[in-house]
């Protein structure tokens, strides 16, 4: 069933969009990530302009994160104090990201920035996660004596330390806020929740328990994506409500099933699946960058001054 998207100015199949929203929502609920790093390439491959994709994804990511946050809250798997510390930096990063997004759009370099950023960012993070997670899976079943020694958390010796009881750690809010600022900036520019960065960072650098990470990351993504939606709607008017509504309907259902599936997933396999997902998307984007375009040359009419 074809519908017309007024902001994107193109027709699109409604059931395809609903299916994409449900699939991304399932992944969001399982891993505690916004799912935007999957939704952006999926919609771009369908022909939706990248600027519209990035702006419209924010409300969809917020919707799927809401259901994931509520599911984690009912299981007491959200560190509210840690979430507030992350939001303090995340909201600042979101504002800076939208400003940069609009600047790149005005000079006509937004599509290139999005494509190259996806390849570099997802490729590096996915590869590092894949190496670590494969080692963890191979180590399953070995004796505890062979386990590596515990390392210090980032920020244990920095000023402004706070005790996060639910996560069982005492660290400075400085690295937490800087991490959230970077994630908020990247999320606003690339149309992603940033959970694929936040989740492994909290697990590997701060050693927050996996189940607490998922719920807390979803809370941070929820608030920052609401802010990104408002900023994009006001500044560049690129939010397509028809497309966003379809994506939200699909993601709400998918996120509920994903949250249930993730609750029964062992930590080592959780990290391995997330690493494969992130690296796979980077590989797909990289192949598109080096592939020969179907139409190497285009022609368009331009106005000239006399």
Residue 266 lies in a domain: yes
Residue 286 and residue 288: Cα distance in Å, rounded? 5
Residue 299 lies in a domain: no
pLDDT digits (tens, 9 = 90+) for 57-103: 777 777 767 877 887 788 887 888 888 888 888 889 888 988 888 88
Could you report how far apart the first and last alpha carbons of the chain are, in Å? 47
pTM given for the model: 0.66
pLDDT digits (tens, 9 = 90+) for 212-246: 887 888 888 888 888 888 887 787 677 777 787 77
Residue 233 lies in a domain: yes
Pairing relation of β-strands 10-13 and 161-164? Answer: unpaired
When divided into structural domains, the chain yields a total of 1
Q: Closest Cα partner for 34 from 219, 200, 176?
A: 219
Under 8 Å between Cβ of 24 and 64: yes
For residue 222, give its domain range: 2-139+153-289
Q: Which two tokens stand for residue 168?
A: 């069982």
Residue 225 lies in a domain: yes
Residue 54 and residue 71: Cα distance in Å, rounded? 26
Which residue spans within 59-209 are E strands per DSSP? 161-164, 169-172
Residue 148 lies in a domain: no
Residue 217 and residue 82: Cα distance in Å, rounded? 9
Residue 302 lies in a domain: no
Under 8 Å between Cβ of 252 and 9: no
Residue 257 and residue 180: Cα distance in Å, rounded? 27
Residue 213 lies in a domain: yes
């Amino acid at each position: 069933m074809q519908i017309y998207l007024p902001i994107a100015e193109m027709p699109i199949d409604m059931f395809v969009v609903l299916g994409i929203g449900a699939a991304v929502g399932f992944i969001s609920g399982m891993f505690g990530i916004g799912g935007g790093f999957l939704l952006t390439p999926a919609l771009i491959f369908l022909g939706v302009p990248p600027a519209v994709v990035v702006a419209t994804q924010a409300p969809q990511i917020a919707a799927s994160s809401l259901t994931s946050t509520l599911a984690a809250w009912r299981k007491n798997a959200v560190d509210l104090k840690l979430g507030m510390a992350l939001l303090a930096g995340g909201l600042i990063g979101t504002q800076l990201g939208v400003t940069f997004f609009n600047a790149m759009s005005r000079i006509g370099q937004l599509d290139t920035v999005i494509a190259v950023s996806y390849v570099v960012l997802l490729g590096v993070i996915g590869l590092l996660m894949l190496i670590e997670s494969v080692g963890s899976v191979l180590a399953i079943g070995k004796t505890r004596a062979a386990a590596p020694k515990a390392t210090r958390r980032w920020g244990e010796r920095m000023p402004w330390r706070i005790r996060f009881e639910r996560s069982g750690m005492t660290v400075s809010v400085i690295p937490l806020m800087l991490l959230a600022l970077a994630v908020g900036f990247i999320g606003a520019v690339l149309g992603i929740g940033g959970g694929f960065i936040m989740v492994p960072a909290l697990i590997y650098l701060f050693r927050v328990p996996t189940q607490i990470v998922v719920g807390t990351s979803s809370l941070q993504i929820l608030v920052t994506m609401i802010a990104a939606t408002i900023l994009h709607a006001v500044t560049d008017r690129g939010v397509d409500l028809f497309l966003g509504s379809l994506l939200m309907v699909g993601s709400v259902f998918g996120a509920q099933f994903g949250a249930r599936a993730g609750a029964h997933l062992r930590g080592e396999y959780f990290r391995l699946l997330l690493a494969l997902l992130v690296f796979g998307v980077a590989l797909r984007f990289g192949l598109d960058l080096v592939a020969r375009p179907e139409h190497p040359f285009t022609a368009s009419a331009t106005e000239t001054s006399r």
